[in-house]
Structure 1
């Protein structure tokens, strides 16, 4: 059983997570997070820890940021867009159990202290920005590091705020095809 409480968006996400792992799951039901749900998440954060697993879309990112503001120190798990897309619908509920287990296994905690370990130079050096295939390379890197897909600025923020080490970044970035 996973120690932390997993926070997802809706009841179909709860079903998908419970098919993948044994865990306690809280659904926030989209943007309408109630006071009772907030108190449950905060209590879970204090007692067991929280992993946020929201949809890989704008709404999911907005909900993720709101939960993090309400419960600092949460860990973040990401499924990739292609893992959560079925018939044009994007969501955790569409991901297969292996994708959910991978996302949870690679969950990262936000750090409280601002860090600027990585810069745009690092992204440029590994073709993660400024190249025709940069988006595809960021997707591959995000999946391997477990930080999800994001624009160059989102990726920089996650690299700096999720405690990714220089060694881990260089090792994973060096495995991207066509790296120079």
Structure 2
């Protein structure tokens, strides 16, 4: 695939490793910063911060525990960073999970659902999660995973899910529309 046929992404994409970088570059035309996994250095974090100031960054880490830790570190160090989430099912190969295992199409779809920290601050609580059927009821985990995928905020436990819907400023109507779409499937 030549560069002309790939979508150009203005922001710099932050990934964990070299194989992730190659997978992203197969899917889109973008600058990419590699964190070197959990060994992210203060120098790399400073580069990410400068990229955020210059053109913005999109954090696109693996949908696993280490990827979530890196996402949290970057979010704390680089306010305003955007986030892209890849569903686990689209990032699996031979029992391993990572961006490098995703198809170019899956990567493009995840980047098309980029989330920014929200300016709208409708705060939700655990009662809202129970009302939506994503916490404290049978099947909550599967429903939460489906809802997280549909909303483009990734797979998360109940506490993380609540933090994400609040952090990204999702509207109640957006969440309810996604729930309705899941119920109709």
Number of the residue aligned with 1:172? 178
Count matched residues.
Answer: 178
Structure with a larger share of its residues in helix: 2
Number of the residue aligned with 1:122? 128
Distance 1:89 1:35 in 2: 28
Measured after TM superposition, the shift of residue 178 of structure 1 is 7.5
Residues 126, 174 of structure 1: 8 Å contact kept = no
Number of the residue aligned with 1:26? 33
- Report the 3-state secondary structure (helix = DSSP H, G, I; strand = E; otherwise coil) of the residue aligned with 2:182: coil
Q: 1:109 to 1:77 in 2, by over 3 A?
A: same
Q: Which of 41, 44, 54 is the aligned partner of 1:37?
A: 44
Runs of 4+ deviating beyond 4 Å: none
Number of the residue aligned with 2:104? 97
What do the CA deviations read for 1:115-160 (whole angstroms, capped 9, x no partner)?
4522222222221122321111111111111000111111111001
Residues 5, 23 of structure 1: 8 Å contact kept = yes
Number of the residue aligned with 1:157? 163
Measured after TM superposition, the shift of residue 112 of structure 1 is 7.7
What do the CA deviations read for 1:64-103 (whole angstroms, capped 9, x no partner)?
1111122111011110111111111111111111221121
Question: How large is the Cα RMSD of the aligned pairs?
Answer: 1.8
Number of the residue aligned with 2:15? 8
Could you state the TM-score of these two structures normalised by the residue count of structure 1? 0.92
Could you state the TM-score of these two structures normalised by the residue count of structure 2? 0.89
Q: 1:178 to 1:152 in 2, by over 3 A?
A: farther
- Report the 3-state secondary structure (helix = DSSP H, G, I; strand = E; otherwise coil) of the residue aligned with 1:42: helix
Residues 62, 86 of structure 2: 8 Å contact kept = yes
- Report the 3-state secondary structure (helix = DSSP H, G, I; strand = E; otherwise coil) of the residue aligned with 2:89: helix
The answer for unaligned runs of 5 or more in structure 1 is none
Q: Which of 83, 89, 94 is the aligned partner of 1:76?
A: 83
Residues 87, 149 of structure 2: 8 Å contact kept = yes
Distance 2:28 2:40 in 1: 24
Distance 1:58 1:4 in 2: 24
Question: Once structures 1 and 2 are overlaid, which stretch shifts more, 78-87 or 120-129?
Answer: 120-129
Number of the residue aligned with 1:59? 66
